[in-house]
Chains A and B, each alone.
Chain A
């Protein structure tokens, strides 16, 4: 029962470093999402994808990039890490059709930028 798998679970970055958060799902979902959750706050959508080769910006895309070369994988890249990107990141996926969908979340990646 893998579902949505994110790596790494914890990471400390120095300001200006780059890294990629990996996300993979084994449910053959067409939609995938990246959210960030700041302390005491709800989740904000960073980027999402409606299928392989298609990505779009969410509410807070600045400082991030994504790609979707396969149905299963949706990595999130931070090019020049900044302290404001210290957060918990959640990848999610869903099968979306006209009847609606349920979004399934990974366990989260805790990122600290110092």
Chain B
């Protein structure tokens, strides 16, 4: 079946630190992969996506590369800001349905 596994949080970083949030998946076929972000009290917003192997999604300084050989889609940012504090969800899309990971909470301190 289809599933997504994310690293457990919370992840606590100082401002300007490097961020990696690991995400691996299991899927049949060739899914699209996504990162969504949820700020406190809000709904989910699409952060970035990749639709095929070796694609790199990027947005707001965040990047993730679709690695078919390792079935991974790790989220990275070179220098985090306090405003990046949120919950980040990795997801795969198969047959037009999204399957979500459990989410990773990121807290960035000044």
Q: A: which residues have CB within 8 A of B?
A: 31, 33, 35, 40-45, 48, 50, 58, 90, 94, 96, 99-108
A-B contact pairs, 17 of them (CB 8 A): A40-B103, A41-B102, A41-B103, A42-B4, A42-B89, A42-B101, A42-B103, A43-B44, A43-B89, A43-B98, A45-B98, A45-B99, A48-B97, A96-B96, A100-B51, A103-B46, A104-B46
Q: B: which residues have CB within 8 A of A?
A: 4, 32, 36, 42-46, 49, 51, 89, 93, 96-103
What are the residues of chain B within 8 A of A104 when measuring CB–CB? Answer: 46
State in angstroms the CA–CA spacing of A105 and B43 once bound together.
Answer: 6
Task: Assess whether B42 is in contact with A33, with CB atoms less than 8 Å apart.
Answer: no
**Closest residue to B102 on the A side, CB-wise?**
A42
Task: Assess whether B102 is in contact with A40, with CB atoms less than 8 Å apart.
Answer: yes
Task: Assess whether B44 is in contact with A100, with CB atoms less than 8 Å apart.
Answer: no
